[in-house]
Amino acid sequence: MYRFASTNTVAMEALQSEDHRNLLDIIDKLRSRGVSRYVDLPQIVVCGDQSAGKSSVLEAISGLTFPTKDNLCTRFATELILRREVTVAVNISIHPGPERSPDERQRLNTFRAEIDLTQPDLQKVVDEAKGVMGISDFKVFSTDILRVELSGPYQPHLTMVDLPGLFRAGNREQSAKDAKTVRKMVRAYVKNPRSIILAVVSAKSDFALQEITEMARELDPKGIRTLGLITKPDALDAGSDSEAAYVKLAQNEDVAFRLGWHVLKNRDYQMRDASSAERDEAEEIFFRSGVWTTVNPAQLGVKALKPRLSDVLKDQILRQLPALVQDIEMEISSTESQLRLFGSPRTNVAEQRRYLLQVSRDFTALIQAAVDGVYNNSFFGSAKTDDGYRKRLRARVQNTLTSFCEKMRQQGKQRIIVDTTSDEEELALDEISRAEFVDLAKERIRRSRGRELPGTFNPMVIGELFVEQCTPWRGIASNLLSEILGLANEILKLIVDHVAVQETASGILSVIRGSLEPFKSDLEVKFKELLTPHLEGHPITYNHYLTNTVQKVQEERRRKSLEKQLRTIVGHEEFASGRHVSIYPTRILEQLGKHIEVDMERYGGELAVDYMEAYYKVASKKFIDDISVLAVEWCLIDKLPTLFPPEAILDLQDDEVAHIATESDSLSLERTRHRQKLTTLEDAKSDLKQLDIHRTLGLPSPPPEAFEQIHSDNESEGLYEYGQTSLVEQAQHEEPSGRIEIINTGETELDWEPKLKKKKKK
């Protein structure tokens, strides 16, 4: 198996090495610069119900005395930054909230407070901070953060954010509305997927009724990033069900968190004036007796909690570092895109015209890509999304024309002529039997008769029948015209909104739509031009498809007639059997002779219907292609890239340019804000990239499972030692060295899961 070795046996310094400190310092620097406004940063958030003992927890960890007024809610978050140094030092400041104005930020940044390091009580500092933040009856809570930086020889490398305590009912000092505000503030921190939730639970009340437990399970349903902390265990009656329940909770057997639970004994009233050392000694004595001896000692007391929290935070930072860098890079890209959209400052006509020229170039490039169907630009997004598909003009035009073709095929005929074998067969409202339609054609021929011989027909009859059949074309074409113009207008607006600043987009779009009007008129004229010959002219075609279709239709009809006669002669069963049958040709001829059409007008009607249907096929195919190519493509789509060329910008008068592109004060402020954001993000990226990851890691970072509660068997006496010691325990028991070596004995792979052993009795 693997075992750990060191030059001087690994101690706390291995965990809290200079690399460890640098890692936390960089994250703290990012937070102090306001990077957390743009991306989520790894952090430990200390949260719990009011009177759960959060202040005592922070005091035990840092040695500072935090305000502990039981029924008064803290009005802001407090960031506690602890670092190991030879000398003791404290620095207290305020980090302004995101909504603060530049003047307010400057005023808050100048805040400094001092405390007596011999009696480090923060109550006075908190009161001063409330005054500077402007907290009063009118402003109950603040998004400003009180930042307390404390260094000393006994401090861990650790950063935590203490949040106001949760409460449900109001009183004179805090209302029900305040409770909602606190809940909203805590949720904002806890829902950060990179936050480690230090959920403080008081043993004085049922943990299931404490709001932080419910919130942690809601926002971290798998319990991956929550570490539970039980306080006030001395308030439990020895041997009671409540004590047993909390021991079970501490052993991760009830509410299971991946990081497990820890137990801390708070300073009680009798020890209110005791020193930190006395407090820690009393805690150790408490945990060496009673039921708590059955709990893993690595989960008890502040001495175990400090390195455990430090290690949890370090691991969370290392685990999140690649994704954090990626998020920062994405924000940088987004901010750069927004700054490109803002363009350079536009304080005069020359700068304004230069801005419009750039918009023109960007617009033309994107609309040309949309027309060509080349969707490489990030503007077009993903075809998997509705938003991405909306921007893909060529795809939408193609699909719209395909739909138009399908509508012409299914809905283009006024009456659908169907062959029926029975007079009782029901037809749809838009259907008509061939026999009935031939009768109508026969009547039309009779009323249009000229000098043609019986059995023939006036050629104008085909035109009249065709015009009636293609009546729906006008409505279908009109709908297509509206759809295509709608697509064009939509893509134009989307592109303008993408390449132009919002306050100039409407003016630019107005110019573009003005240029679009002639194309729109040409398109409408072309639609009418292509539709009119079919609805008002007479049939003209030189396509041999016409006669081919007529011949095929008539040949198919004769084949069916012959089949019918053969079935009559040989019988239906014999015909269907496929067996060899002998018949006399004269019988076939006799049978066919009985079905020669002697009604010359009806014969002419059938022939006219055949020609009309054949011509309809020829004309509809041509109409679909002409509308798609000559109208949609050449009158509109192909011309879209010419709508807003650079030449048009040069032709604009100065007053027109100023009207469109004058920059507002608000936009100027937005540009400044985005430039500051970009600088902040680029500095953050640079800081993170400078981290020597390999040196910082030094050792494979343990997964969260390393902190899971390990259960003993029923025979255990409660005294544990690890076959493979965790980093936290090494830090507590071994001497400092500053580095860690991993020695492979070749037996097993490295396993971060601690293995429990019973300690042998002497």
Q: At residue 161, does pLDDT exceed 80?
A: yes
Spatial neighbors of 73 by CB under 8 A, at least 6 apart, are: 50, 164, 165, 167, 173, 174, 178, 182
DSSP-derived secondary structure letter, 759: P
Q: At residue 737, does pLDDT exceed 50?
A: no
Kindly list the domain boundaries of the chain, sorted by start residue.
2-33+40-327+697-722, 374-651
Residue 518 CA to residue 515 CA, distance in Å, equals 7
- Strand 89-95 with 145-152, pairing: antiparallel
Q: Token pair of 372, please? A: 């060509």
Residue 208 CA to residue 44 CA, distance in Å, equals 22
400-409, 641-650, 660-669, 691-700, range with the lowest pLDDT = 691-700
Spatial neighbors of 253 by CB under 8 A, at least 6 apart, are: 709, 711
Q: Token pair of 401, please? A: 């024309």
pLDDT at residue number 17:
63
Average pLDDT over the chain, rounded to an integer? 82
pLDDT at residue number 251:
93
* Closest CA relative to residue 94, chosen from 45, 143, 42: 143
Please, which contacts does 139-143 make with residues 24 or more away whose CB atoms are closer than 8 Å?
140/75, 140/178, 140/181, 141/75, 141/76, 141/178, 141/181, 141/182, 141/185, 142/75, 142/76, 142/97, 143/76, 143/97, 143/98, 143/99
pLDDT at residue number 735:
36
| Residues facing 158 on adjacent strands | 82
Residue 672 to residues 132, 349, 358, 678, 727: CA-CA distances in angstroms?
A: 27, 21, 20, 10, 47
Q: Are the CB atoms for 148 and 122 separated by under 8 Å?
A: yes
If phi > 0 it is left, if psi is from -120 to 50 it is alpha, else beta; for residue 486 that is alpha
Residue 259 CA to residue 249 CA, distance in Å, equals 13
Per residue in 666-684, pLDDT (tens digit) is 888 899 999 999 999 999 9
| Residues facing 289 on adjacent strands | none
Spatial neighbors of 392 by CB under 8 A, at least 6 apart, are: 370, 373, 375, 380, 383
Q: At residue 596, does pLDDT exceed 50?
A: yes
CATH number at 2-33+40-327+697-722: 3.40.50.300
Q: Are the CB atoms for 13 and 75 separated by under 8 Å?
A: no
* Closest CA relative to residue 142, chosen from 101, 182, 192: 182
Per-residue pLDDT, averaged over 607-623, amounts to 91
Q: DSSP readout, 58-104?
A: HHHHH--B----TT----SEEEEEEEE-SS-EEEEEEE--TT--HHH
Q: What angle do CA 121, 125, 131 make, to 5 degrees?
A: 150
Percentage of residues in the chain with pLDDT exceeding 70?
83
Per-residue pLDDT, averaged over 511-534, amounts to 96
Residue 575 CA to residue 564 CA, distance in Å, equals 10
591 pLDDT tier (thresholds 50, 70, 90):
low
Residue 43 CA to residue 320 CA, distance in Å, equals 11
| Residue recorded with tokens 């009604």 | 599
Most confident of 15-24, 64-73, 705-714, 745-754: 15-24
| Residue recorded with tokens 């927004």 | 338
Q: Which residue has the higher pLDDT, 528 or 585?
A: 528
Q: What angle do CA 29, 33, 37 make, to 5 degrees?
A: 115
594 pLDDT tier (thresholds 50, 70, 90):
low
pLDDT at residue number 569:
73
Residue 442 CA to residue 458 CA, distance in Å, equals 11
Q: Token pair of 149, please? A: 């930086």
Residue type at 67?
P
Per-residue pLDDT, averaged over 505-523, amounts to 96
